[in-house]
Amino acid sequence: MSVAEAVPAVGPAGAHGVPATPRRLVSTRFLRSELGMVFRRRRNQLAVGVLCLVPVLIGVAIKLSGSGDGPPFVSDITENGIFVAFASLTAVLPLFLPLVVAVVSGDAVSGEAQLGTLRYLLAVPVDRTRMLAVKYAGIVAFCFAGALAVAATGAIIGLAMFPSSTATLLSGDEVSTLNTTGRLLLVALYIGMCMAGLGAIGLFISTLTEVPVAAMTATATAAVVSEVLDNLPQTEVLHPYLFSDVWLDFGSLVRSPIDWQALNHGMVVTGVYVLLFLSMAWARFTGKDISG
């Protein structure tokens, strides 16, 4: 894996006639290297491909059955194909998308440690805080890419198979397909943000171990536990504070008017989790003895 190195650029002579060689204050080479590693990895590409199969399966199943009976979004597909995307995002959100994010985030630091590249990466040198920030940036980019990929595939498949006339929102209002497409984009971005919260948890767990599978499993388990608690009436007092509780709030974007209060709550809850777990990841990683 390549590491960002500041490229010296010879400038005007200094006070004693010595050429000044200032370093670039900002270099994107490390970030570009990390993004390339995340998106070129076969495992991650396969995971996104599997996610994109969901809208294909939903679209084909509804088309062959000729019936749109089902829960919200699914029942609207035969009226407007754009709802294939909404139904697909709803389908991947409880399990498949969090699992993919768990794999990517759990591997972020522990994968480098297991391969033995973490010590050399830091010896270049790369500041640990900067490295952690770049690692999280790669996770966040993948979270948004996964949600947008499902949304785009669903929209393309749906509009190719079903009508594209006016769409009926969950509130009963009819809007144009262009309006619904804009709402779909916002939904995908909101879900990507929610997954970035889970990604912060996975990054923290990744700093605790040198075994990527253990970090991936622990992150996925955290998501499952949060969802289980969120569905138990006995733990209702905890629901507003669970990171998974706000995931389905994207439904507010498919109503008119949009319930911004619910969305703001979701962004605040996710932001708190991101700050908390990134802080713990930083505290752990900057004080960690690198032996791998």
Q: What is the rounded average pLDDT for all residues in the chain?
A: 87
- Report, in angstroms and rounded to the nearest whole number, the Rg of the chain calculated over CA atoms: 22
Residue 95 included in any domain: yes
pLDDT at 69: 74
**For residue 118, what pLDDT band results from cuts at 50, 70 and 90?**
low
The pLDDT of 33-61, averaged and rounded, is 95
Residue 24 included in any domain: no
Instruction: Convert the pLDDT of each residue in 218-274 to its tens digit.
Output: 999 999 999 999 999 999 999 999 999 999 999 999 999 999 999 999 999 999 999
**Domain count of the fold of the chain:** 1
Residue 82 included in any domain: yes
Residue 273 included in any domain: yes
Instruction: Convert the pLDDT of each residue in 63-113 to its tens digit.
Output: 998 776 778 899 899 889 999 999 999 999 999 999 999 999 999 999 877
Angle separating helix axes 177-206 and 83-92, nearest 10 degrees: 20
Which residues are 19's β-sheet partners?
13
Residue 19 included in any domain: no
Instruction: Out of 6-15, 23-32, 114-123, 188-197, pick the least confident.
Output: 6-15
* Amino acid symbol at 284: R
The CA-atom distances, in angstroms, between 274 and each of 7, 47, 195, 200 are 32, 23, 10, 5
Q: 263: domain range? A: 29-213+221-283
Residue 7 included in any domain: no
Residue 1 included in any domain: no
**For residue 292, what pLDDT band results from cuts at 50, 70 and 90?**
very low
Instruction: Convert the pLDDT of each residue in 140-171 to its tens digit.
Output: 999 999 999 999 999 999 999 998 888 999 99
Give pTM, 2 decimals: 0.87
Residue 143 included in any domain: yes
